[in-house]
Structure formats: structure tokens, C-alpha cells
Structure 1
Amino acid sequence: MPLKNSLILLLTATIWGIAFVAQSEGGEAVGPLTFNATRNIIGSLVLIPVILLLNKINPQSNSADFTESDRQPMASSGSNPFSRNKTLIAGGIICGICLCLASNFQQFGIQYTSVGKAGFLTACYIIIVPILGLFMKKKCSPFIWVAVVMALIGLYLLCITDGFSIGKGDFLVLICAFLFSLHILVIDYFSPKTDGVKMSCIQFLVCGILTAIPAIILEHPNLSSFSGAWGATLYAGVMSCGVAYTLQIVGQKNMNPTVASLILSLESCISVLAGWIILGQKLSTREIIGCVVMFGAIVLAQLPQKETASEK
């Protein structure tokens, strides 16, 4: 497994972990639907100049992140740009629908449950991804399954400090975890076939439009409501959406989706560490153990991948 992909996904998890506070504050200030719609539309707009710049740097290619091996089969088959654009649009729309559903279930769930529970339940996609992957013939080694169990234990120690029960908010976030699992698998399918940056731009636009419709009807947004939430909204839009979700698509390319989900689940650890470093919130012994177990799971998950690559 390329170290580059792992580092890209680690950076993604870092941005998401720090953005959790922005997501919570922004949703309370302007409403969950309005906040999600705005951040996704901002994410889409941010990527437009990036796409134009990449096209200017490499005008001969419709895909800035294709490798030569990706292009050769297309060239031999007549290099059908219509087919490639069709795949790009389909991938962007499907990813956008999954992202829209997942992020909105999460945003509403956070209103009815604690941040710790929300973090743990959202990260449960690390067990849902490999289970769903079995139906898509995505096999995992025993080491990865052990890593998944370790990560769940680590997340529990890190996030659940006041007992565990399933309430309304918990149920909504569990649905969110299932939808994020689908999002990861959809990206795994489309990212090797098309331009990750363009697909990311389309997914944000689709998600933003789909969320804006009920936001306008139910929350009646206006500019004055953003007066105290522009910082959180811009961070969530530019960094969490525009940068991080695009890095996720690029980083997941040709990578085992279960291992990718394990690395992305470090978002929960990083959010706690960010609170410790930035806000001065102290970590308990239990939380420190949870972080150590989580990082151990990530290391274990990558060892068999390297061995498999060396055997080929």
C-alpha cells in the first residue's frame, strides 16, 4: 500500500477532527440544513479554480490525477471522452447523494446526543465497510479484521465515558455511519475511473443543492443568521469539504476501503487531541489508552498490505 495514500487520508482525518467543533457551532447558529447546504456549496466553488488551474497545467488530459497506466487502456479503445465524462458525472451524483444523506443524518443526530457518542457511532463505519465489502468481493486479511476490532475498542474507550444507551440521536448517527460506509465504497469504485477533483466538485454541488431545498422550506435562512458563524462555515466549507473530501477521493484511489476507513476513523482521536492541544482540555488515562489502541490498529492494518505487495 503506498505510504502516500495513507498520509493523504491521515491529513483528511486531521482536518475532519478539527472541523468537528466548527460543525457543531455552525449547525447551532444557522440550522443543520442551512449549514450543510452552505458548506457544501462553498466546497464546490472552492474547487472550480483548482480544476481550472489543473487543466491549464495539463491541458492534454481530462483527468489531472490519472496515471499513464490509467490512460493506456482508454487510448487503445479509442479514448472515448463521452464515456469518461459519463462516469465522472455518475460518480459525482451518486457520491453527492450519499454525502447529503450521511452528513444530514449526522448533523441532526448531534443535536440529540453527546459529542463523544456521536464520534464513536459515526466511526462505526470501520466495521460496516468490511461487512458491506464482502458483498462486493472486497476480501480482508485476518489482520485487518483484528485491527477493526481493536479500533472499535479504542473508539469506545476514547468516546464513551458515561455509559452506553441507544436514544433518538444515537439511532440517527448510526444511520449516518451506514451511509458514510456506502460513501466510502462508492468512492472506492469510482475514484480509479475518473478525476478525483472534478468528481469531488460535483458531489459537493449535488449535496449542497439537495440540502438547500429543504433548508429554504424549513429553516428560512438569511445572511444575518451567519453573522456569528462565518468562521465555522468557511472552515467547514473550504477545509472540511473542499480540501478534505477531495483528499479522501484522491487518497482512496487503489486502496483497500477497509484500511482507508480505519485511517479516516482517526478523526475521533484527532478531535480529542485537538481539544487537548488547542483548547487545553486534558486527556484522561482512559482516553489516552483509547488513542494508543486506535493508532495500534492502524499500524496493524497496514502490515499485511505491505507483505501482500512484496509477494506479487
Structure 2
Amino acid sequence: MRALTSKQADLMLFFVAFFWGTGFAVTKIALDIYSTVQLLFIRFIIASIVSLIIFNKNIRNMNRSDLKSGVIMGVFLAAGYIFQTFGLEGTTAGNSAFLTGTNVVMVPFFYWIITKKKPVFNNLIAAILMFIGIILLTVDFKNFGKFNLSDMLTFFCAISFAWHVVVTGIFASDKNPYTISTIQMTTCAVIFLIMMILEGKPITYNFKGALSMGYLSLITTMLCFMMQTIGQKYTSTTHAAIVLSLESVIGSIFGVLFLKENYTIITILAFVIIFISILFAEVGYDWLFRTKKNRLPDKK
């Protein structure tokens, strides 16, 4: 395809954030029809089959290193979706969207563990803000000291996704992204198949459920991964991070519009704090003070 301008690439990434954001509400709807592991298996088996068909030439040329990398990525990705989807059973789409978004703040610290590259001061500020936001979301102030288990599961999902970003960044540097991406989705499908067999519940056909799964599989999984790859090729990492972080806002908005979710002032304050922490983690003070001081270098 022809090269995109920076604005066109940012627009493409906005649609990725939009579709991912709507995915939280669609998942909540699908969970009324399917069990958690059934939803995950159906979502990833469809995405895997489509990816295997489209990128079959890449898969035929894979080597042992590609397979190992894709499997490791798939394990972290599967763990993230397991925690996220189980968490969605008992929390709002908005809470899930914002808590999942905190993985962006964790990445520099996890990357530090692997590469010994210390996070900059902006990341420390972001981590503090994230912790405050998580406390506001997960602590029941009417019964102080008690935490919402579903929100905590979603936080574990963010940890898993953060590790997934780290290992993906390491493995993708010298490997075909379509190959390892397809392997990771197939790995997820196998893990969820095993879990579904152990669960032992039959899958029942439901038109509403089929529409939901089609959207989650083909749009928020298959299409979005492809659009993200293309978009980030023609725009800076800073622009991509800002645009993609809108997933959290969109997820919350759709939770209010379509799931009739209501939020308290404390919840909204938590959303704002967590969103600000994500921006601090990725672009430092640029977005607030419009200065190059403390700016994080773009990834190449």
C-alpha cells in the first residue's frame, strides 16, 4: 500500500483505539451468553484461522526461534485476556478500560528488569498517579479496607499485558511481525480450548452472541492488530501512544451509553488520574506544558 501521512496514520490509530474501546462493552454483552473461556476461545480461534489464511506464506517460512517467541508472547497475552475477561464479569466496562490502560505505565519498569535500562522521572510520576487512581477505583470507601476482586483481577490483566508488550518489543525487533503475531494468537486459542474442555460447558448458538463474537474476533482482534502495525509505521511513537490511550476514554463512554453504567465523582476522578498517568508515562510534560524538557525519545 502507499505511504501514509502522519495525520492519516494517526487517524488510523484513532480507529484502532475506537474499536478497542468499544470492545469492552461488546465483551460485557457477550458474557451474558457465553462463559468466559468460551468467549475467549471463540474470539481467538476465529482470529487465528483468518490470520493463518492471510499470512500462510509467512507461517510456512517460520523457524524454531519464531515459534518460541510467538508462544511466549501468546502465554502472556492469554493470561492478560483471562484476567481481563474474568474481571469484566464483576466490574464495569469503564473500570476495565482504564485499569487495562495502566499497563502502559508499567512497561518501562518491567523493561528495566530485563534490560537494566532505568525508567525516567516521568515514569515515576506516572506510577504514583496510577497507584492513586487504582486505589480510588478498587477500594470500597463505605467498607474501608475491602477491595473489589474483579477490579484487582483486571489490574493483574494490566500486569500481564505489560509483560506482553515487553517481550513483544524484544522478539519483534528481528522477526517477521505477521508470523509471530499469528503464532501468539494460535497459542491463545489452544490455551483457551484446553480451559474450555476442562470447563465442560456446551456452546449454544445465539444470534446476538454470534454478532458479538464476530465483532470481537474480526474487528477488535484481527483488523485492529493489522491497522496498528500499519499506522505505527508512519507516525511517531509519541503520537501513537497518545492516540491509542484514548481506548480507555472510549471504553468508558460506551459503558455509559450502551450498558447504562453510572459513575460516582470518585470514580470519574480515578479515570482522570489514570488517564493523566498514561500520558505522563508516554510523553512526559510535553502535552501539559508544551516544552521539550523531559521529553521521552521516540522509539525507532
Establish whether TM, by shorter chain, passes 0.5: yes
Secondary structure at 1:43 match in 2: helix
Q: Distance in 1 between matches of 2:231 and 2:127?
A: 20
From 216, 229, 245, the equivalent of 2:197 is: 216
> Which segments of 5 or more consecutive residues in structure 1 lack a partner in the other structure?
56-61, 64-80
Secondary structure at 1:135 match in 2: helix
Are positions 1:203 and 2:184 aligned together? yes
From 31, 39, 51, the equivalent of 1:27 is: 31
Encode CA deviations 1:123-169: one digit per residue, 9 max, x unaligned: 33233222212112344332344455556667888x67975852332
Offset, 1:17: 0.6
Are positions 1:127 and 2:108 aligned together? no
After alignment, is 274-283 or 134-143 more displaced?
A: 274-283
After alignment, is 6-15 or 117-126 more displaced?
A: 6-15
From 211, 216, 225, the equivalent of 1:236 is: 216
Change (3 A) 1:176 1:283: closer
Equivalent position of 1:268 in the other structure: 248
Encode CA deviations 1:210-229: one digit per residue, 9 max, x unaligned: 101221231433342x3330
Offset, 1:39: 0.4
Secondary structure at 1:221 match in 2: coil
Offset, 1:108: 1.2
Equivalent position of 1:100 in the other structure: 78
Secondary structure at 1:129 match in 2: helix
Change (3 A) 1:110 1:308: closer
Q: Distance in 1 between matches of 2:99 and 2:211?
A: 27
- Say if 1:263 and 1:298, in contact at 8 Å, map to a contact too: no
One-letter amino acid of the counterpart of residue 122, structure 2: F
Q: Distance in 2 between matches of 1:98 and 1:85?
A: 21
Q: Distance in 2 between matches of 1:305 and 1:95?
A: 35
- How many percent identity over aligned positions? 24
Are positions 1:89 and 2:63 aligned together? no
- Say if 2:94 and 2:251, in contact at 8 Å, map to a contact too: no
* TM-score when normalising by structure 2: 0.72
Change (3 A) 1:151 1:50: farther
Matches of residues 187-202 of structure 1 in structure 2 within 5 Å? 187-202=168-183
* TM-score when normalising by structure 1: 0.70
Change (3 A) 1:139 1:7: farther
Matches of residues 96-175 of structure 1 in structure 2 within 5 Å? 96-137=74-115, 138-147=117-126, 149=128, 163=141, 165-175=146-156
One-letter amino acid of the counterpart of residue 124, structure 1: T
Q: Distance in 1 between matches of 2:202 and 2:135?
A: 37
Equivalent position of 1:51 in the other structure: 55
- Say if 1:12 and 1:248, in contact at 8 Å, map to a contact too: yes
One-letter amino acid of the counterpart of residue 92, structure 1: G
Equivalent position of 1:39 in the other structure: 43
One-letter amino acid of the counterpart of residue 188, structure 2: C
Encode CA deviations 1:86-125: one digit per residue, 9 max, x unaligned: 3322221111111111101211122233434333433332
